[in-house]
């Protein structure tokens, strides 16, 4: 896919590459440690719950820190906070290479979450501010593809390093350091919109019903997505699928489906408004959860997993734009940061909600409850205003990114 031909005259070709690379980092924040978590638990002599916090502590830190990160970016721009966040991401994440005790490791994971919050919010805000019109639909679709591919490729690298030591996967986080340098070199300083005293601040955003509805939808989708990731292997074991490689194929299919939708998302948006995009996604999820709860056929379960990937590929870029557009320009970063809070709060809450539910009922019962929750979301989406986001504009002058006032401003 050619991108440099569409860049504005004041921008450098590396901007989109840097932003897409940065976008791959948030999704692998915890997944990269999954293959070594049991070895880590045994080596540090901690309980399974304590070891699990190594995987999830950063999600809580991201959820809590994101609004502060958004506030900073609304006032001082994106470029420097994003670069600092990437540096913290690399250093705090890579600290696991040398940390040999549990409490210091947990502390580094919390600090790592602060950097990851800046990466998640900063890459999203930069894309939304630098690209407009059809170009924005195309780039948020590519971002969805980058995120899903990052969730597959980075853990594979981590798994290979984990074969040497449980410390090995932490080396992957060091990639944040060169990306931080590239951000300072390639990313322009996007001018901060003039502040309107009556339009800024987090409290007014929390009083915006449509914005809160979008964030609530994102929270539930993130929770459902993690429930699939955590409990799908157990469901597969129930239907006779035990081979680890075959189980990994199911996860890979989900990521591939999400990636493919990201590549054609701009074309879909040229034909459909956001409410229709979201309804299609959530209807697919409802059907997928019904299949997980009722069918014992591995091929049908694979089809269900595919619908989750397709739905996520539609919903994530749509909600990213809707959340940003529901806020005034002076509070766009704070609104986007709420998306980070919703996403990672949902991920943190998923095991706490679905774990006890499935223990009290069954794996299939939990998935059927998820199907019911998805059906409730479908009904709720019927009330989403049809004017929420017109179909994407046809290719034309609006495809160029919004050029900053000067190429090196503020460097």
**Which residue in 305, 333, 252, 391 sits closest to 76, CA to CA?**
333
Q: Would you give the end-to-end CA distance of the chain in angstroms?
A: 30
The H-or-E segment that residue 327 falls in is none
Structure tokens at 134: 């059809």
Is residue 5 within 8 A of residue 399, CB to CB? The reply is no
DSSP label at 194?
P
Encoding tokens for residue 95? 């600290």
What is the rounded distance in angstroms from the CA atom of residue 53 to the CA atom of residue 359?
20
* Fold category of 201-391 in CATH: Growth Hormone; Chain: A; (1.20.1250)
Please report the pLDDT score of residue 229 as a whole number: 81
pLDDT exceeds 90 at position 107: yes
d(CA 326, CA 219): 17
- Measured over all CA atoms, what is the biggest interatomic distance in the chain, rounded to whole angstroms? 61
The reply to whether domains 12-192 and 201-391 share a CATH topology is yes
Of 23-27, 179-183, 361-365, the least confident? 23-27
Which residue is associated with the tokens 């340098």? 181
Two tokens at 1? Answer: 């896919």
What is the fold of 12-192?
Growth Hormone; Chain: A; (1.20.1250)
Confidence of residue 92 (pLDDT cuts 50, 70, 90): very high
Q: Which of 250, 262, 307 is nearest to 127 (CA)?
A: 262
Per-residue confidence band for 3, with pLDDT thresholds at 50, 70 and 90: very low
Query: Can you give the pLDDT at residue 396?
Result: 39
The DSSP line for 375-406 is HHHHHHHTTS-TTSSPPPPPSSGGGS----SS
Residue with tokens 């003039």: 194
DSSP designation for 191: P
In the chain, domain spans: 12-192, 201-391
Q: Which residues of 113-131 are buried (b: 16+ CB within 10 A; e: fewer)?
A: bbbbbbbbbbbbbbbbbbb
Provide mean pLDDT across the span 48-53: 76
- pLDDT value, residue 2: 42
**Residue 167, helix vs strand vs coil:** coil
Place of tokens 């709060």: 345
């Amino acid at each position: 896919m050619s991108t440099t031909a569409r860049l504005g005259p004041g921008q450098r070709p590396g901007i989109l590459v840097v932003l897409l690379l940065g976008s791959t980092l948030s999704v692998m924040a915890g997944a990269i440690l999954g293959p070594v978590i049991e070895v880590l638990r045994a080596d540090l002599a901690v309980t399974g719950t304590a070891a699990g916090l190594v995987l999830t502590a950063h999600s809580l830190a991201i959820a809590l820190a994101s609004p502060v990160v958004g506030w900073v970016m609304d006032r001082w721009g994106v470029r420097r906070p994003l670069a600092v966040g990437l540096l913290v991401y690399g250093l705090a994440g890579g600290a696991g290479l040398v940390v040999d005790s549990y409490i210091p490791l947990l502390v580094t994971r919390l600090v790592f979450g602060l950097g990851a919050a800046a990466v998640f919010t900063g890459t999203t805000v930069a894309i939304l501010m630098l690209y407009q019109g059809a170009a924005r639909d195309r780039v948020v679709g590519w971002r969805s593809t980058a995120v899903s591919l990052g969730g597959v490729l980075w853990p594979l690298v981590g798994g290979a390093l984990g074969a040497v030591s449980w410390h090995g996967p932490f080396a992957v986080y060091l990639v944040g350091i060169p990306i931080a340098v590239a951000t300072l070199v390639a990313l322009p300083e996007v001018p901060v919109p003039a502040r309107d005293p009556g339009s800024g601040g987090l409290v007014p955003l929390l009083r915006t019903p449509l914005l809160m509805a979008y964030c609530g939808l994102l929270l539930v989708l993130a929770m459902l997505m993690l429930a699939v990731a955590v409990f799908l292997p157990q469901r597969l074991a129930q239907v006779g699928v035990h081979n680890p490689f075959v189980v990994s194929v199911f996860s890979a299919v989900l990521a591939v489906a999400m990636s493919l939708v990201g590549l054609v998302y701009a074309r879909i948006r040229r034909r459909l408004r956001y409410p229709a995009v979201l309804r299609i996604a959530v209807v697919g999820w409802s059907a997928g959860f019904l299949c997980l709860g009722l069918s014992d056929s591995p091929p049908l379960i694979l089809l269900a997993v595919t619908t989750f990937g397709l739905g996520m590929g539609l919903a994530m870029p749509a909600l990213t734009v809707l959340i940003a557009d529901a806020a005034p320009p002076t509070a766009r970063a704070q609104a986007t940061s709420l998306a980070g809070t919703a996403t990672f709060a949902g991920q943190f809450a998923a095991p706490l909600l679905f774990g006890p539910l499935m223990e009290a009922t069954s794996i299939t019962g939990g998935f059927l409850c998820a199907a019911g929750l998805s059906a409730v979301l479908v009904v709720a989406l019927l009330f989403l205003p049809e004017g929420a986001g017109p179909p994407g504009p046809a290719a034309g002058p609006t495809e160029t990114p919004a050029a900053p006032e000067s190429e090196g401003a503020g460097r």
